[in-house]
Chain A
Amino acid sequence: MKGFYSRKLHSLLGVIPLGFFILEHMLTNFSAVEGGAQGFKDSVAFLNGLPLVLILEIFGIFLPLLYHAVYGLYIAFQAKPNNGRFRNERNLRYLLQRVTGVIVLVFVIWHLYETRFQVAVGNVTHEQLGSVMHDIVLNPVFFILYVIGVLSASFHFANGLWSFLVSWGVTVGPRAQRVSSKICMGLFVIVSIMFVWSLFAFRNAEFQAGGEAMLQTLRTFIG
């Protein structure tokens, strides 16, 4: 495919559906803050109760994610950052967009393996996901890695939204780009806080798994 269209598709998929997905994920996680273990279980149950949920996952998440990741890596490795010579905020964000993109890709693969993949192969059920997360984030190293992962994802989303607005010709002049910059960086802060807050909520003892048998199952893949 010609560069123009593949780049435009990359930009579009980052916002629709992936941008919507990250906001949805943020809200679902936040139910762990708001409603505790039961609230999170209810949110997961609601999502999995959606009609055609597998189709939604494949066409709304997996395929767009795959394309965005592969083409994004291509973009990231084409860059020749010059932040030492040009120290300005936009240039820093240019670099961070590429760095966080690669971090998020690694993080998402790891996170998918621990959660969705384990559900798919039948090691855990949707109801147990809260306790899976509980066990992960209780490990201080994994907790820090998760914080880095969600901060990177939040930044990549918010800054990507800013450049989406430029690339599609919505924000044209410098004032418009400055204002959208502030809005998007505000969004970054809000999304980050909500994700990190949820991570702290998952550390709460109420997410602990029921029986010793299940912990045994979990240990096999958390390490």
Chain B
Amino acid sequence: MAQTTAAKKVKFIITRQDQPDSASYTEEFELPYRPGMNVISALMEIQRNPVNNSGKQTTPVCWESNCLEEVCGACSMVINGKPRQACAALIDKLEQPIRVEPMKTFPVVRDLVIDRSRMFNALKRVKAWIPIDGTYDLGPGPRMPEKKRQWAYELSKCMTCGVCLEACPNVNEKTNFIGPAAISQVRLFNAHPTGEMNKEERLEALMEDGGIEGCGNSQNCVRSCPKGIPLTTSIAEMNKQTTKHMFKRWLSV
């Protein structure tokens, strides 16, 4: 430690919450700067030495993270006002003091740990999977054209991180909007040659309450997606397909 005391410091203001239903508060931390550090490594530092700015021993800050390379979606938090992945938030590129908050669109479990269950429930609702009978060999499925595979691959990068829901002004406690991520997944699974065989089921799920009608076109989602997924294109495409499906259903009975 001796060689770093004279060096640069990094200041954090972290929004903390002890219990899911208790009030939140902020706590400040000052850490020695290390080259290449990011928000996760800073949180690890606090975990090793949980002493706050006023020199008092405190409980270590809780957070969630897994892959540390922006592919798992676990470490989403609001950093300097923007929801993003903490593992990709390099200290060198952040303005100080660095404000770290949980994504409060989701229920807060503790400190920066949030419960993203609603996203997984939304995926279940829209049937974001390819149903295949695994009891016997069905042989090879239909082939996917390469051109389609290329854009579908972009959609498949979704890691259910919840950043788009945090950015969306229509995902809040007053609505039951499922959010942009699940809508884009319908487009992905409806593009799959085998998934396409059940496309009506997914479109109808989007036409249920809290479905695609919840979009208000603020387009914050596409601007904040850490994976650069064309979410608004997916939403507009699903608008088109649900509209078509609506007329088809009316006119075919």
Mask of B152-188 contacts with A, CB within 8 angstroms, 1/0: 0000000000000001011010110000000000000
Nearest A residue to B170 by beta-carbon distance?
A79
B219 touches A88 (CB 8 A): yes
- Say yes or no: A94-B174 contact (C-beta < 8 A), given A3-B211, A4-B212, A85-B82: no
B248 → chain A closest CB, angstroms: 13
Q: Are B175 and A78 in contact (CB under 8 A)?
A: yes
B17 interfacial by beta-carbon distance below 8 Å: no
B169 and A91 contact, CB distance less than 8 A: yes
Expressed in whole angstroms, the Cα–Cα distance for A95 and B216 within the complex equals: 10
Residues of the B chain whose Cβ atoms lie less than 8 Å from the Cβ of A75: 216
State whether the Cβ of A103 lies closer than 8 Å to any Cβ in chain B: no
In the assembled complex, the CB of B214 is this many whole angstroms from the nearest CB of chain A, namely 8
For A, the interface residue count at a CB cutoff of 8 angstroms equals: 35
Whether A166 sits at the interface, judged by CB under 8 Å, is yes
Which of A43-51, A143-151, A169-177 is the contact stretch? A169-177
Query: Can you name the residue of chain A whose Cβ is closest to the Cβ of B224?
Result: A86
A86-B223, A88-B220, A167-B217 known, 7 other contacts, Cβ within 8 Å: A3-B211, A91-B169, A166-B239, A169-B238, A170-B240, A174-B230, A177-B236
| Chain B min CB distance to A185 (Å) | 14
User: In the complex, what residues of B have CB within 8 A of residue A86's CB?
Assistant: 167, 218, 220, 223-224
**B233 and A172 contacting across the interface, CB-CB below 8 Å:** yes
Contact A168 B243 (CB under 8 A): yes
CB atoms of A4 and B230 under 8 A apart = no
Residue of B nearest to A75 (CB): B216
Q: CB within 8 A of A4: which of B170, B219, B223, B242?
A: B242
Instruction: Please report the C-alpha to C-alpha distance between residue A90 and residue B213 in the assembled complex, in whole angstroms.
Output: 18
**Residues on the A chain within 8 Å of B169, using CB:** 79-82, 91, 94-95
Which one, B34-42, B53-61, B202-210, is touching chain A? B202-210
Cβ of A8 < 8 Å from any Cβ of B?
Answer: yes
Partner of A8 from the list B170, B213, B218, B238 (CB cut-off 8 Å) is B213
Closest chain B residue to A91 by CB distance? B218
The docked-state distance in angstroms from the alpha carbon of A2 to that of B242 is 14
